[in-house]
Amino acid sequence: MMCSIPSTGVGRCKFAFWFAVFHDILGLLILLSGVFWNIFFHDFLVYAGSLIIFLSLIWWVFWYSGNIEVPPAELEDDIAFYNNCCKV
């Protein structure tokens, strides 16, 4: 049985979620400014925006892995298995 935890919409790792969203928006703004502005370093902006969006995947993985819930029964099974297996 799972514990009923009230959902707030973004999970328990709010910092990682908002940091990932911030990097996505920042990367998209830089990418689109490189696409639509007629400046001499537009290619740098396109690559930099794409790189920032790609690196924001790190924060999405942190957010996702921080919201994984393991039932207490499964944790107890692992501890019992570890204790029985490693006795000398």
Is the model more confident about 28 or about 82?
Answer: 28
Provide the CB-side half-sphere exposure for 65 (13 A, CA): 6
Long-range contacts of 25-30 (CB under 8 A, 24+ apart): 26/52, 27/51, 27/52, 27/53, 27/56, 28/53
**C-beta neighbour count of 50 within 10 angstroms:** 15
Residue range 2-33, pLDDT digits in tens: 444 556 678 888 999 999 999 999 999 999 99
Amino acid at 71: P
Residue range 40-81, pLDDT digits in tens: 999 999 999 999 999 999 999 999 998 888 777 776 766 656
